[in-house]
Structure 1
Amino acid sequence: MSKLIVDGNWAAADVAYRCVDFAAIYPITPSSTMGELADEWSFQHKKNIWGAIPQIIEMQSEGGAAGAMHGALQMGALATTFTASQGLLLMIPNMYKIAGEQTPFVMHVAARALATHALSIFGDHSDVMSVRSTGFAMLSSHNVQQAHDMAAIAHAATIRSRVPFLHFFDGFRTSHEESRLTRIDDDVLHEMIPDSLVLENRARGMTPDKPTIRGTAQNPDVYFQGREAANPLYEKTPEIVQECMDKFAKLTGRKYKLVDYVGDEKAENVIVAMGSACETIEETLPHLPKGLGLLKVHLYRPFPTAAFLAALPKSVKRIAVLDRTKEPGSIGEPLYQDVKSVVGDGVVVYGGRYGLGSKEFKPRDVKAVYENLMQNTLHHNFTVGIDDDLSGLSLKTDAAFRVEDPGFKTAVLYGIGSDGTVGAVKNIVKIVGENSDLYPQSYAVYDSKKSGGLTASHIRFSDAPIKSQYLVEVADFISVSNFMIAQRFDVFHGLRSGGTVMINTSLAPDVAFANLPKDTQEHLMRIRANVYFLDANRAAAELGLGNRINTFIMLNFFNLTKVINPKDAAESAKVAIEKTYKKKGMDVVQANWAAVDQASKYLVKYNMPSSVSNFAPDFVPAMTLDAPAEIAGTLGEIAAQRGDAIPVSRFRVDGQFGGGQYPVGTSKYEKRAVSDKVATVDIDKCIQCGKCSMLCPHAVIRIKAMTEQQAEDARAKGIKVVPMKTPELGANMYFTINISPADCTGCSVCVKNCPVGALSMVPARDVMAENQAAFNAAEEIPNIEREKLNLNIPKHVELLPHYFEFPGACAGCGETPYVKLLSHLFGDRMVVANATGCSSIYGANLPTTPWTSDSKGRGPAWSNSLFEDNAEYGLGMRLALNQKRDNLKALLFELGIADVEQIFDETDAAKQREIESNLRAQLAKIDGPRARLAESLVGEIVNKSVWIIGGDGWAYDIGYGGVDHILHSGENVNVLVLDTEGYSNTGGQQSKSTPFGASMKFAIGGKDHAKKDLGMIAMMSGAYVAQIAMGANQAQAIRAFREAEAFNGPSIILAYAPCIAHGFALQNGVSHQMQMVQTGAWPLFRFNPDLIANGQNPLTMDSSVDNPMPLEDFLKTESRFGAARAANPQFNKLVDLAKANNAYKSELKKHIAQFAMLHKPEVKENGEG
């Protein structure tokens, strides 16, 4: 049996792949990598234990995956899937069917929180507890090794029992923890799953050679009896599972029971738990008084009553049951109710909750539960790990309590999302595992931001297996990959006395230390830390590695910690580098080898002074000083990484903050300063085209036009102002352009696309103070009135107020410019239904959000429901708004208001505002409840612009049914599809929008079928349809948005959005959009059915392919195609198919337009169609 360093997802997927014929998959965090691995292994022709290559298929949704598996199972195949959270819920209908038909099957779940008052991608048991009534057996793993072992036991037990199994482990805490694994050999799995049982299962499969009828509809006379007939199978299942565990023990030496007991054999106080918490409780027990125990539940369904009672010491008086879920309104959570039912009245049983949404569960929490049990002070329905000062349910904990083995070697490496630190840590752990007998453990903590958020990678090394399922609290080594982290957060408070600090910065050591916060300097001196400074950014630049600093972080970790011999680490790193980068050429490999050899050259030992710097700063505040109290309070605590301590009383009953709804416009107060280099502009070179402002993915570039008096006032505030170069806004108008360096991500999109080179990238520290002050002052300059602007001109659009600013998207994101443009045009009257995905995460991820309001308090009203239902969600918004307008109209007629029909016929938004104001004045003079009711609705005079936003994974796949429905509904809704040609939010899996030949996750060898043409499909529905690429044609994008919004019916805009998953530097995103259009793969067009009634062609082609860019040339510029070319010998055939498909669709669109002209609607004399 081989020993590997892997995470829990790999551990489960490895067994699952080898034990099945078929897997239907769909991406969802944190389970996605299981499906990715299965797809990769299948492409590599790795075989299962019967010598066959499992077939892996990605479906359009989890519901689709469940249906496909159900079909495969009916044919006698062995199948699996991997899922979590909402995805698991979508499988519930099929789970009932599969269980009811007593079909062997195993699904593997990285257990995750459900979306309730908010979405959470993090771990708890809410999802798996929601399916406990389906009839699936449920088997729980508690660590990475168990995720491997229990997967094998589940696959063995299901085929023996004919009961389907759900095997689960904690999302992130287990699924993403890297640890040492002893791999199960194929012969062991084969012994666990004998061929005879496989053949029996296959024989039960449907075949026309022995026809059967399944899935009948039954009547009241027999349905009940049929439901009860399965009882014997469920009664035998616990015994079968234990038999499989016993056989597994004989084959591997690793022993398990349905319920494992650890602790005092005469314990009076016992905790019952499932999942990774069991490891922490077991680790803590030796540090507590005698008389305590722990029951670790593995088999949860069918609940193993006999095994539970046999394992429970007869001496027990009190039990605390820990559930990692919440069921509002119940008498207790699921595991508690089961335990309470089993033990009866002779033992006092308390139920409590912990760890929701990956909340930390630490030894101090374990101690608090046991102490309250021992003192008989525990109350039912308790919580632990939070401060519930509202209901008084939380237990007080001892913050100083620690149990971590002093023999552990521990480290925490802090970074910024997408900077490579997390990847460096994964390599560190693998290298240590391969070069020593140490047991490694790594676990990364990060938020949902797409990039730029704080990451913390926690590492432990030990001579024995590690049970600590919580973050490192005391570290021997702490590194910081970005100096801003050390200035903003108290990251060194957990450093052990005499520990080592490594800080990456381009500043000279003396300057850097002097600029550390005063408290940090004092702390490092007090504990006599060993301080090192690393200039990895200079190293990467000098060695031609761009901004990739992870190798320098990794090698200097080994140089300073000596966890293993640094020379051995360097040799292992070189082997890994060659394996990773050989496809890119030996020059790339050698550059990375040089980084390994020269890493220590850029590391400097710093001798701390005897006293703190005279000018030592305080910590940079998490929110700017001008942030309102509501934002600086709770949200400020979250931004400062102190959200764990926020008490329950600070939240409203709906889980939100403060007295109002979640506040808008909060991102402007965070000022994350995540980039060492930022954009700056030479206003004298600027030609005032507004291109940089429009293309900026992060809304950090602002242009303003102003009068002569305003210009004088601006100059007095340090704002650079020049005369406007064009007269369309009037004579004597002035112009300013300013950039917020604290919000700039350093993506360089503006620099790459300025037609005159007026922008450049400079060190942030050189311009931060001056440019930020100018930007802030310029924001006070009033915007030009909308009515004075020509909104077909891009630079005029950029003079409108910003309603979307500073999102936490990837640097250079291709999606956000479209969202920003949309908000410019309609933001003051816009309602947004946003599908779960990238746009919902950068759009509304705590602590701050980019959607904001104008000086009049108006702005987009934004909401997210789920991934799969966004089209329907937005349609519901539209229908409710329609109903409000209808109700208002009826009330105005009833109240005798004049010209009601004319009021509601008005379509101009500015005039609607005037009407609204006049109506309010009229209604204020009318007494009575009907007038008050009308007043509550008068805002509906201004017709709201409903926009339904999401990515291609939503629109092409999981939500396509809803999109199709609303496009045929006739209702006035607008759909914006941010098309990245893949599932960006879950890590870059293929969608139906992925083009021919692109290598994405779930399509490693290149997608072998055509991209779905959603635009062409939509054209058949009578909707307005446009396909745009802002980088290729900004004016066309603006026109499409305006036409779509003006169209009185459904509209859909398909917006091409470059993504990091495409495999090129996003600073070149605009040129890639141009090239995509030039190849003919993304033609720009607008299809407006309104033109048909006037005898005009509804299809306008806005791009020409008279001189097309060869598709082959474009494919060479993106590694998603290069990877497929290297992996797939048939790649050139895929390219030919793609070219033929593009030509075919181009011709087909023309024929559709001609067909529409031939079948234009007849216009009646009264104007009705």
Structure 2
Amino acid sequence: MDIFSILTGRRYRLFDYVGHPEAEHIIITMASSSETVEETINYLNAKGEKYGLIKVRLFRPFSTKYLLKALPSSCKSIAVLDRTKEPGSTAEPLCLDVAQSLFNAYQNNKIETLPRIIGGRYGLSSKDFTPAMVNAIFNNLKQEQSKNNFTIGIIDDVTHLSLPYDKRFEINKSAFQALFFEEDSHLDQSLSSLEKTLGNSKFNYVQSFKEIDYKKSESKQVKHMRIDSKPIKAPYLITNADFIACQNVLFADMDNALNNIQSKGTLLINSSLTSKIFWQSLSANVQGAIIEKKVKLYIVNLKNLKTHYRIGEASISAFDTCFLYLNNGYVYSNNLAQLCTKIISVNTSKQTNFNTISIENKSDFESTLLGKLLRGNEEILVGDLPIDGSYQTNTSIFNTTRTLKEKPDWNSESCIQFGAFSMACPQGALRIKVYENEYLDTKSIGFKSIASKDFDLMNYTIQINEDQCNACNNCIEACDVKTIKLKPHFNMENSDWKYFKSIPEFDRTKIDITKISQQQLQEPLFKYSTGDDGCGEAPYLKLLSQLFGDRLLVANATGASSIFFWDFTNDSLVEKPRRKRSCMVKLVI
């Protein structure tokens, strides 16, 4: 370690101690969690506490000698944190090593007193590790009967070993915190220009990182940014932002962005609507939250702005430039004045919506595990998880409804009923059905039908599920006679599809699968994938599910197929096909 210090200028010991020189309560941990613990200790010690931290720099081989050197003689209790759970073990690896080392040292008279040692787990289920959790761990240490083998960050209603913590506890109150909810991913260079511009000021320190969505379509990323006049050490997510910007209004509603904004914060949403109509379009829940928190609401139509603005020597995206305009104390530029008439303040003084539009069994659904996950609900209990490890399939149907400017439209008069367009659809959103006259809907103007060419005295209909179609154009390119064309979409109720679903599936025993026109009558058991729009992998999987049904075994390695097969909230299979994930790596030759 001394040689490393000479070569790099950075000095590390096997165990580094920080905190009060006469600390009574100590946390032992390693990796990124140590930075969060250190900042929290500095904050609490300034208020009169005697807390300390030992950072483990080298876990294996474990050195008892250097651990004892780092341990203050005043220590009364220790909490050892592991980011893992070992079923069947009495404790986790780091805790066992620390306990064994101190026990042997006490037996061999190397230390006068044996501190109380408890173990704990953090970061399970990818939960963030925050100062509020550190504070709860120290509070547990100070109890006469501390909870051992505890878990922090999740709610364990099975073993009841989780520690409660106050989410309102904060230590870095001087930093300005901002969240940017963005659709898909933009150029990294343009996004980083904002942080560089802010950081170039000698008065500013900037921290920025992103949450990246794993989905390949309808995806989002959330940028977390902190600005302060002193160095920032906060390796955890922002949950109480001063400013939030959303490229889509759905982020404010479906992704619970408003849960992460503080009272009297600023909310900017991209919208083409006027301020009055926009306010009326918001749900009762969103309006109520904005009024309750006294949020200042603004809208901007990004399509009416230039893609980038020159701020100083940097070229900054329009979305980020809006942040600089609304927070003009950080950077001055004449170009910001161009946004004066583009960013509109919304009058939120009166609530116009009082009844949230309900869907069938909405309240029941939102209380389920799937409903909580789709809503981004952090309050998921261990008891919510199925004890046998089996999960619901066909969950991709619950993905956010797509907003399309155009959608495929079927011209029944020119249709030759070939079926290639249906086979090309990666979503399974374009379907064909043949049915008896008794199912013919004569009431709906939009519901079309013609006489079937393959089956006498039966009706033939092509229908599009507007909620799941992504307008990838695959069906249009596959149709030689151009029966399918894109037409403007006005977001009308998907009533024709709802009626189409009620029509029974055609008898598979009467289908000649060697003819595409008939084979496409088979119900797909793979649909609504979250792969790339127009994904070339999905149509093959959909076709296989039609041909083989519950006799199909799907084995995948990684890539797009793992996203729409192995994520519980985006499972594209309708129960019957079996799938198996392998550990092999895909080779590209």
Return the TM-score normalized by structure 1: 0.46
Query: Structure 1 residue 403: deviation in Å?
Result: 1.6
Give per-residue Cα distances to partners, 1:231-271, cap 9 Å, x unaligned: xxxxxxxxxx2x135425xx64x443322211111111100
Query: Structure 1 residue 633: deviation in Å?
Result: 0.9
Q: For 1:342, what is the secondary structure of its paired residue?
A: helix
Aligned residues: 570
2:176 is matched with 409
Q: Alignment partner for residue 817 of structure 1, among 529, 533, 539? A: 539
- Is residue 267–residue 292 contact of structure 1 (8 Å, CA) maintained in 2? yes
2:466 is matched with 741
1:285 aligns to 2:20 (yes or no): no
1:532 aligns to 2:298 (yes or no): yes
Distance 1:401 1:628, change over 3 A: closer
2:384 is matched with 650
Distance 1:256 1:632, change over 3 A: same
- One-letter amino acid of the structure 1 residue matched with residue 467 of structure 2: A
- One-letter amino acid of the structure 1 residue matched with residue 360 of structure 2: L
1:750 aligns to 2:475 (yes or no): yes
- One-letter amino acid of the structure 2 residue matched with residue 244 of structure 1: I
2:580 is matched with 863
- One-letter amino acid of the structure 2 residue matched with residue 391 of structure 1: T
Q: For 1:843, what is the secondary structure of its paired residue?
A: helix
Q: Alignment partner for residue 841 of structure 1, among 552, 555, 563? A: 563
Of Structure 1 and Structure 2, which has the larger fraction of its residues in helix? Answer: 1
Query: Structure 1 residue 603: deviation in Å?
Result: 2.9
2:313 is matched with none
Matches within 5 A, 1:36-435: 241=1, 243-248=2-7, 252=9, 254-288=10-44, 289-344=48-103, 346-406=114-174, 408-416=175-183, 418-420=184-186, 425-434=191-200
Query: Structure 1 residue 717: deviation in Å?
Result: 5.9
Query: Structure 1 residue 421: deviation in Å?
Result: 8.5
Matches within 5 A, 1:571-650: 600=339, 603-613=342-352, 615=353, 618=356, 625=360, 633-642=368-377, 644-650=378-384
Query: Structure 1 residue 663: deviation in Å?
Result: 1.9
Query: Structure 1 residue 438: deviation in Å?
Result: 2.6
Distance 1:342 1:364, change over 3 A: same
Distance 1:340 1:398, change over 3 A: same
1:795 aligns to 2:517 (yes or no): yes
- Is residue 388–residue 394 contact of structure 1 (8 Å, CA) maintained in 2? yes
For 1:733 and 1:541, the matched residues in 2 are separated by 53
Distance 1:528 1:627, change over 3 A: closer
Query: Structure 1 residue 294: deviation in Å?
Result: 0.9
1:675 aligns to 2:403 (yes or no): yes
- Is residue 563–residue 570 contact of structure 2 (8 Å, CA) maintained in 1? no
1:562 aligns to 2:337 (yes or no): no
Q: Alignment partner for residue 767 of structure 1, among 491, 513, 522? A: 491
Distance 1:674 1:343, change over 3 A: farther
Query: Structure 1 residue 335: deviation in Å?
Result: 0.9
For 1:424 and 1:342, the matched residues in 2 are separated by 51
Distance 1:389 1:609, change over 3 A: closer
Q: For 2:555, what is the secondary structure of its paired residue?
A: strand
For 1:691 and 1:480, the matched residues in 2 are separated by 39
Query: Structure 1 residue 276: deviation in Å?
Result: 1.1
Q: For 2:566, what is the secondary structure of its paired residue?
A: coil
Distance 1:735 1:478, change over 3 A: same
- One-letter amino acid of the structure 2 residue matched with residue 738 of structure 1: Q
Q: For 1:641, what is the secondary structure of its paired residue?
A: coil
Distance 1:631 1:437, change over 3 A: closer
- Is residue 354–residue 384 contact of structure 1 (8 Å, CA) maintained in 2? yes
Distance 1:723 1:746, change over 3 A: closer
- One-letter amino acid of the structure 2 residue matched with residue 727 of structure 1: K
Distance 1:703 1:839, change over 3 A: same
1:727 is matched with 453
Give per-residue Cα distances to partners, 1:783-831, cap 9 Å, x unaligned: 2112222222323222111101111112221211111111111123222
Q: For 2:137, what is the secondary structure of its paired residue?
A: helix
Q: For 1:470, what is the secondary structure of its paired residue?
A: coil
For 1:320 and 1:494, the matched residues in 2 are separated by 30
Q: For 2:223, what is the secondary structure of its paired residue?
A: strand
- Is residue 701–residue 739 contact of structure 1 (8 Å, CA) maintained in 2? yes
1:477 is matched with 243
- Is residue 282–residue 294 contact of structure 1 (8 Å, CA) maintained in 2? yes
1:1047 is matched with none
- Is residue 177–residue 227 contact of structure 2 (8 Å, CA) maintained in 1? yes
Q: For 2:194, what is the secondary structure of its paired residue?
A: helix
Distance 1:298 1:762, change over 3 A: farther
Give per-residue Cα distances to partners, 1:660-701, cap 9 Å, x unaligned: x32222222x14124343414144355133333221222211
Distance 1:745 1:484, change over 3 A: farther
Query: Structure 1 residue 601: deviation in Å?
Result: 7.3
For 1:697 and 1:598, the matched residues in 2 are separated by 46
Of Structure 1 and Structure 2, which has the larger fraction of its residues in strand? Answer: 2
- One-letter amino acid of the structure 1 residue matched with residue 448 of structure 2: V
- Is residue 784–residue 799 contact of structure 1 (8 Å, CA) maintained in 2? yes
Query: Structure 1 residue 752: deviation in Å?
Result: 4.7
Give per-residue Cα distances to partners, 1:952-1000, cap 9 Å, x unaligned: x52x3xxxxxxxxxxxxxxxxxxxxxxxxxxxxxxxxxxx32xxxxxxx
For 1:256 and 1:781, the matched residues in 2 are separated by 70
Give per-residue Cα distances to partners, 1:739-759, cap 9 Å, x unaligned: 222222343333455444444
Distance 1:491 1:750, change over 3 A: same
- One-letter amino acid of the structure 2 residue matched with residue 604 of structure 1: I
Give per-residue Cα distances to partners, 1:627-677, cap 9 Å, x unaligned: 8967861101100000x21111112345x3xxxx32222222x14124343
- One-letter amino acid of the structure 2 residue matched with residue 767 of structure 1: N
Distance 1:602 1:330, change over 3 A: farther
- One-letter amino acid of the structure 2 residue matched with residue 663 of structure 1: Q
- One-letter amino acid of the structure 1 residue matched with residue 86 of structure 2: E
Greater radius of gyration (CA) = 1
Q: Alignment partner for residue 684 of structure 1, among 400, 412, 415? A: 412
Give per-residue Cα distances to partners, 1:888-914, cap 9 Å, x unaligned: xxxxxxxxxxxxxxxxxxxxxxxxxxx
- One-letter amino acid of the structure 2 residue matched with residue 486 of structure 1: A
Q: For 1:493, what is the secondary structure of its paired residue?
A: helix
Q: For 1:799, what is the secondary structure of its paired residue?
A: coil
Q: For 2:433, what is the secondary structure of its paired residue?
A: strand
For 2:481 and 2:16, the matched residues in 1 are separated by 71
- One-letter amino acid of the structure 2 residue matched with residue 860 of structure 1: P
For 1:774 and 1:763, the matched residues in 2 are separated by 17
Q: For 2:182, what is the secondary structure of its paired residue?
A: strand
For 1:435 and 1:821, the matched residues in 2 are separated by 57
- Is residue 265–residue 296 contact of structure 2 (8 Å, CA) maintained in 1? yes
Query: Structure 1 residue 526: deviation in Å?
Result: 3.8
Distance 1:631 1:809, change over 3 A: farther
Q: Alignment partner for residue 826 of structure 1, among 525, 548, 557? A: 548
Query: Structure 1 residue 492: deviation in Å?
Result: 1.7
Q: For 1:413, what is the secondary structure of its paired residue?
A: strand
- One-letter amino acid of the structure 2 residue matched with residue 266 of structure 1: E
Q: Alignment partner for residue 317 of structure 2, among 534, 551, 567? A: 551
Q: Alignment partner for residue 786 of structure 1, among 505, 508, 511? A: 508
More relative contact order in 1 or in 2 (CA 8 Å, sep 6+)?
2
Provide the identity percentage.
30
- One-letter amino acid of the structure 1 residue matched with residue 243 of structure 2: F
Q: For 2:153, what is the secondary structure of its paired residue?
A: coil
Query: Structure 1 residue 387: deviation in Å?
Result: 0.5
Return the TM-score normalized by structure 2: 0.89
Q: Alignment partner for residue 509 of structure 1, among 270, 275, 290? A: 275
Q: Tell me how large the CA RMSD over aligned residues is.
A: 2.9
- Is residue 79–residue 118 contact of structure 2 (8 Å, CA) maintained in 1? yes
- Is residue 424–residue 474 contact of structure 2 (8 Å, CA) maintained in 1? yes
1:703 is matched with 432
